[in-house]
Structure 1
């Protein structure tokens, strides 16, 4: 699925993504500043959380509460190797059955479940973005 969007219709984009997901594990790809965290904020809101969503750049993972579930939002940009991921218990999160939204997932590739969805974001002209959901 491919979507062209801007920040004005981000909530609609989040709803479209959720309707087309096959799993509760989403991997986010895109350059720095492409809008991964901004999209994740809209997704968490669309999933029904009233929590204030912020980037987990320094905490590595943030947890958000849904009515009958949880969302774990990871920013693995600062993780240097898979050993660091093991040190904070990444496998427990991945095996939890809850939502896992992972920015910069390359470092934990070998730990990923067999099935996941990918979201690739490419920044275009005039702050428009192209998103590909696989």
Structure 2
């Protein structure tokens, strides 16, 4: 999988393309530096999945839960502020990551050892022209 987002006008079509390629996979880990576009892309995907609530990075909450078009939960994690893996154990990560519901994870490198084996790992990077490339790295 490789998706290019040339500008904001191509963001929603890129999100639809991503959804078309999700298949039955549910856990998606987004790797990329600060400002790479992880949250922006996850917002676009959530919009395409029918989320009507405000989608924001759960930097301080660690996890946000949204409802998709079908009423199913969508979980959005941001592990940027995790200092110890025990913090993830404390909120019962298994209940979310192994629920069978869609999970989007920002800053997964901080919790890689607890990610499910079938996690789809994706890289988001900015090109010299300012576009973003999203590609599967697993």
Do the structures match in fold with TM over 0.5? yes
Aligned length: 134
> Corresponding residue for 1:4?
4
Q: Secondary structure at the match of 1:125?
A: coil
Indicate the RMSD between aligned Cα atoms, in angstroms: 1.3
How does the TM-score come out when normalised to structure 2? 0.90
Look up the SS of the partner of 1:40 in the other structure. helix
Partners of 2:105 and 2:94 lie apart in 1 by 13
| Deviation by residue 1:4-31 (Cα, 9 ceiling, x = unmatched) | 2122211000111111124111000000
Q: TM-score, normalised by structure 1?
A: 0.93
CA–CA distance in structure 2, aligned partners of residues 60 and 2 of structure 1: 28
Other-structure match for 1:64:
66
Counterpart CA distance in 1 for 2:134 and 2:90 is 32
Paired residues of 1:36 and 1:121 also in contact (CA < 8 A): yes
| Per-residue Cα deviation, 1:66-106 (whole angstroms, up to 9, x for no partner) | 22311110000010121111112112111222111000112
- The answer as to whether partners of 1:29 and 1:121 remain within 8 angstroms in 2 is yes
Q: Which consecutive unaligned segments of at least 5 residues does structure 2 have?
A: none
CA offset at residue 40 of structure 1? 0.2
Q: State how far apart, in whole Å, the 1-side matches of 2:3 and 2:97 are.
A: 27
Query: Which residue matches 2:116?
Result: 113
Q: What is the SS of the residue equivalent to 1:20?
A: helix
